[in-house]
Amino acid sequence: MYKKKSNQSLKDLNTFSMDVTAKKIIFVNTIQSLIEIWKICKSYNLPYIILGEGSNVLFLENYMGIVIINRIKGITIQEKKNVWILHVFSGEKWHDLVKYTMRIGLFGLENLSLIPGSVGSAAIQNIGAYGLEIKHICEYVDVLSLERNNIIRLKKNSCQFSYRNSIFKHKYNNGYAVIAVGIKIKKNWKPIIFPILLKSKKIIQINAYKIFNIICQTRKSKLPNLKKIGNAGSFFKNPIVTSQIAKNILSTYINVPHYLQKNGFIKISAAWLIEKCNFKNIQIGDAAIYKKHNLILVNKKKATGQEILKLAKIIQKSIFKKFKILLEPEIDFINSSGKIKLL
């Protein structure tokens, strides 16, 4: 079961709103149809990419292959003694899942509210916000081997989750597809407290609904509306540097947002680094830095992927020159034949 479009624009299928086309766009809603499309691509030696909500990609030009849009959906719930295990297919929207769990009274995902993207990409990216990451709630990830037509279940400890990274970006990238994610929700709910929550008057008699609402309000106030301004959220990762590099910065600047990591390294705020480089009103075509959040690059109207890339390179070079820190992109770059490494 799948729907096919030929030479259609991908503008509404990527959150950056890049007005590029693909040779074919195919929507799949079953595992079998995904396998069938992959076989066709392999037979005709056609490049292909699998997208969910297109929330973490930047198309640099028209794509000459097949774009497969994952719409494989479904949620089942298994009750255990102390937890609920949700088996969620990868084509579900992440925020819809959060709202669904809230609606049925299962609490624990509220700190990850309003993050765009699908459940599959959430696992691949190990999304995180306000003290919670996918790795904290993941029980397993089911990966489909397109070559062998079988599903491999990886327990959480085998997923190699790290900051905005996982094994699904490397070993299980080409020839594989994340099909479902097992999510563990504890029955004994405890709030994850974060700075914004402490500032809120709603901290009194806190519950999951209040946290959900505070986070949604905060994200809406800080982040651009995807329906109006094209973007992919945070463009760069917050750099994790050695204690010596961090010490050098802290000796010069006061109040640098930084966070000690378990391995002794230090995570520095990329938004702060960008702010200190004073990019006042910098704009390349319609590519710009979002005024309310330095870490977000936006397509103000008709920016091209190349313009966004040029702006990102200027930022990256300036940060390196000033702080000797190389910012790493959080998004995937896609040229005419597939994902490529840039920056």
Active site residue 164: yes
d(CA 130, CA 266): 18
The maximal CA–CA distance of the chain, rounded, in angstroms, is 61
Integer angstrom CA distances of residue 109 from 104, 129, 161? 12, 10, 18
d(CA 330, CA 74): 28
Q: What is the DSSP letter of 262?
A: T
Place of tokens 């099909």: 179
Q: Among 164, 166, 307, 318, which one carries the catalytic annotation?
A: 164
Assess contact for 10 and 21: CB atoms under 8 A.
yes
Tell me the residue type at 88: V
d(CA 172, CA 94): 21
Structure tokens at 342: 């840039």
Active site residue 71: no
| Buried b or exposed e, range 232-249, using 16+ CB within 10 angstroms | bbbbbbbbbbeeebbeeb
Structure tokens at 90: 């990868």
Tell me the residue type at 269: S
Active site residue 55: no
Q: Which residues contact 203 (CB under 8 A, 6 or more apart)?
A: 197
Q: Among 55, 90, 234, 318, which one carries the catalytic annotation?
A: 234
Nearest to 232 by CA among 244, 240, 223, 241: 223
Distance of CA 126 to the CA centre of its chain: 7
Assess contact for 71 and 34: CB atoms under 8 A.
no
Integer angstrom CA distances of residue 308 from 32, 204, 210, 224? 37, 43, 36, 16
Which amino acids are annotated catalytic? 164, 234, 330
